Chain A
């Protein structure tokens, strides 16, 4: 580099590790360590923000009321702060999305890993990636302007805003995630297991169902939980297509509101700092954060601890 300890004409690698350069070395290392530390601070920031604002909320609403009250009307005259309607909305959408994405994703993964030739695979895999890269607001538009009218043709009692359309589209949205992770799990199953089963006279379909899927079960299960967690936290599709009316129902034909959609709705206006409206946003957000965090952790735990193939 320069004359200070380097050799003229040689760029870098032959420089001595001691001397004036050593201080610089340590500074560079420290800067990188700070960068890594910053990512840890982000998590700490999320938790701190939730704790400080949620404390304000729970001094006015008991945790018991929050978890058991069946009405959620924070923006009305008569206020009720029960998370259950929002929770049921989120669960309804996640379960509905799961009905589409879990079987669809697993079957796609089976096709990719067991049946598709390398050419079909090299087309389908990137296409699924593209599908996964489409912004959620586009899926929201699709749910609102295409899927809802389509479903209304089949189910005339379907409301203009309903949980079913949102759930179907969220399912399409998370299908690539489930398919891709399940595909990884199936491809990790050694070929010797398939060959042994085939050699014993098993039909290919039985090899897939009785040998390959059980062997990859932990990875498949992990992909299912992760997919459901993403569906649970999804915001835009639900906010656009499922309406914004929180009530405790498991009827997918009705309009509902999920936790994420409430946060979006409450955050849209210019809400005052320290008001109850402002605090509900953090209380609901904290629940959403905790539940998705637990689901992600379980997914990871399933993959690592229950790993079928050793």
Chain B
């Protein structure tokens, strides 16, 4: 190809690639702008203090906000210890056998299952078989199953980052397996495990479909008082408000989206802070050795 033709082709390709790359950015800006414009008018103090209502001017997100916080705390309590335990087993205990590989492949598979399938499982297992009903407990257990594989995978990665030499040194001094984990591996891996856990939970907080299936209700005028109470959650409320034809409810949906996004932003910021603090500390330690 001739020189000028080559240059034109080069420039055209660069332009195409550059434009495509900023497509995602543009989509993000437009989405955020759309939500802010629609929802800003409905943001007010009584949005947080009022319950759902047939009258948009009186409707608020008190019940779904509390429901989401309940779900967040319970899901963290259920999924975090088990997931970290599983990650410790796979990294520190499990022999490299076929069974271990099968469990590992299974976890990767679970992370790819559509969230609505977890909703079906939650409906059949928690709501019906275990007879927990359409309660906040059923919702949290369902979200826990959804979150577990994600936390396991990120916790494994965090544990793998602890250098082999640390373990060898501790074993060489006569430490038992649990002592090595408890005093060497976990302290070093924990910040990243927590970061991964928070990010996984922020995904659970935004989930809608599984909660709809396990029976988050749309119209309740109380906040959950115990784990067996019925509940609703922010994403579910957004879904129902957005599905109504009236513009006022769409404004409420957008306002609820803003609240949800701020909550998620807070969780992501927290996760970043935990990770960065750790990285600064470990680089500080590096200078002394």
* Residues of A participating in the B interface, judged by any CB pair closer than 8 Å: 11-17, 21-22, 24-25, 28-29, 31-40, 42-43, 45-46, 49-50, 53, 103-104, 107-108, 110-112, 114-116, 124, 127-128, 130-131, 133-142, 144-146, 172, 175-176, 179, 203-205, 208, 226, 229-230, 232-236, 239-240, 260, 263-264, 267-268, 270, 273, 281-282, 285, 288-289, 292-293, 296-297, 300
Once bound together, how far apart are the Cα atoms of A103 and B206, in whole Å?
27
Which of B121, B178, B184 has a CB less than 8 Å from the CB of A49? B121
Contacts of B23 in A (CB 8 A): 104, 108, 175
When C-beta atoms are compared, the residue in chain A nearest to B21 turns out to be A111
B106 touches A40 (CB 8 A): yes
B101-159 residues with Cβ-Cβ distance < 8 A to A are 102-103, 106-110, 112-117, 119-121, 123-125, 128, 145, 148-149, 152
Contacts of B27 in A (CB 8 A): 131, 172, 175
Which of B123, B149, B209 has a CB less than 8 Å from the CB of A235? B209
A137 touches B120 (CB 8 A): no
Known: A39-B86, A264-B213. A12 touches B107 (CB 8 A): no
Binds A, one of B40-48, B50-58, B250-258, B281-289: B250-258
Is B261 among interface residues, defined by CB-CB distance under 8 A? yes
Binds A, one of B189-197, B219-227, B236-244: B236-244
Contacts of B212 in A (CB 8 A): 264, 267-268
Once bound together, how far apart are the Cα atoms of A142 and B116, in whole Å?
20
Contacts of B106 in A (CB 8 A): 39-40, 43
B177 touches A135 (CB 8 A): no
- Chain A to chain B contacts (Cβ below 8 Å), 29 pairs: A13-B170, A13-B180, A14-B173, A14-B174, A29-B93, A35-B81, A39-B83, A39-B148, A46-B113, A49-B124, A107-B16, A107-B17, A108-B24, A111-B20, A116-B21, A133-B202, A135-B207, A135-B264, A137-B257, A139-B31, A145-B242, A145-B250, A204-B10, A235-B208, A236-B239, A239-B209, A281-B120, A282-B120, A288-B116
A39 touches B10 (CB 8 A): no
Task: Tell me the minimal C-beta distance from A134 to chain B in angstroms.
Answer: 7
Contacts of B84 in A (CB 8 A): 35
Is B6 among interface residues, defined by CB-CB distance under 8 A? yes
Contacts of A134 in B (CB 8 A): 31, 206, 261, 264
Once bound together, how far apart are the Cα atoms of A130 and B32, in whole Å?
12
Contacts of B149 in A (CB 8 A): 39, 42
Contacts of A116 in B (CB 8 A): 21
A32 touches B89 (CB 8 A): yes
Residues 4-37 of chain B: 1 if any A CB is under 8 Å from the residue's CB, otherwise 0? 0010011001101110110111011011001100
A296 touches B112 (CB 8 A): yes
Is B69 among interface residues, defined by CB-CB distance under 8 A? no
Once bound together, how far apart are the Cα atoms of A264 and B120, in whole Å?
9
Once bound together, how far apart are the Cα atoms of A49 and B225, in whole Å?
31
